[in-house]
Homo-oligomer: A and B are copies of this chain.
């Protein structure tokens, strides 16, 4: 309402004004007792606190954010919360953020690249910064999005220094994995490839190509697969047909899916077939046989993502990608070829 009163107030519940009135003080005073800092007469402060309690008042974070210009909250967009890998990273991120007084809210894009940008923008509009975990969108879309949602840092995608970036070195990782298998005497290896548009996949492809190059007598076959249990489970016929003695699965989840199928099919692991994963999700240790995989300190990575994001938020961004090289965890699912 222009004029005397504006439009009907869409307000919910008690506001700072109610408290001020009820306590017989100004809003400013209420604000001061709420936020500490300023000096307030102890009498008054007490009275205000009592009223706040009685009326069960909580300040509107929305109003607060608008006024302050910051929310001390950051958003994370994750492609698949169902992959324990992301959960681990998220955990580290969350803890680090909390230590700096920041809250974390997360949005799951459920592997839908269409949704990612909108989710990120929307999240960013309610928070002070966002982290994008392994975005699935095209590089073009990613680069277009970055300035819109800054400060932003990206996990497992490069950004051409247009944003902070933290990477797992899948290239080096997969090479180590392949060498492990080769050292064990394997010469026919199958690679269960992940999503063809994912950086994490072509980094692996690139590493394996180098291994092929270097080791003339080693044969590495690509088998299109995916990233889920199902995908691993369904890969069996192709794996069987390949006559490989060892399988490098795209990640642990895929490897575990395959393991399930192999058990059903009566294929002994590692007797008939060696199998490796990637990520070292918690369950990899408990499968039977336990899974040989590449371990990165996921919590640590989460912590670093926070550090980089924090830098983006302040003075001096860290634009050189931070790279983590995973290490081999040799377990029960691989063995020396007789």
Contact = CB atoms under 8 A, between A and B. Distances in A.
Residue from A56, A58, A70, A232 whose CB has the most chain B CB atoms within 10 Å: A58
A263 B289 contact: yes
Nearest to A269: B288
B10 A105 contact: no
A259 B283 CA distance: 11
A314 to B, nearest CB: 14
A62 interface: yes
Residue from A9, A147, A286 whose CB has the most chain B CB atoms within 10 Å: A286
Contacts of A47: none
Contacts of A58: 121, 125, 148
Contact of A62 (B62, B107, B147): B62
A233 interface: yes
Interface string A268-308: 00000000000000110111111000000000000000000
Give the 5 A-B residue pairs with the shortest CB-CB distance, closest first: A10-B69, A260-B286, A263-B288, A61-B125, A105-B105
Contacts of A119: 103
Interface in A122-179: 122-123, 125-126, 147-148
B286 A229 contact: yes
A119 B259 CA distance: 39
Nearest to A289: B263
Interface of A: 9-12, 56, 58-63, 65-71, 73, 75, 81-82, 84, 87-88, 90-91, 94, 103-108, 110, 119, 121-123, 125-126, 147-148, 229, 232-233, 256-257, 259-264, 282-283, 285-290
B107 A103 contact: yes
B233 A286 contact: yes
Contacts of A105: 75, 105-107, 123
Given A60-B66, A84-B82, A125-B60, A260 B282 contact: no
Contacts of A82: 84, 87-88, 91, 282
A147 B58 CA distance: 12
Contact of A81 (B63, B67, B87, B290): B87
A73 B229 CA distance: 31
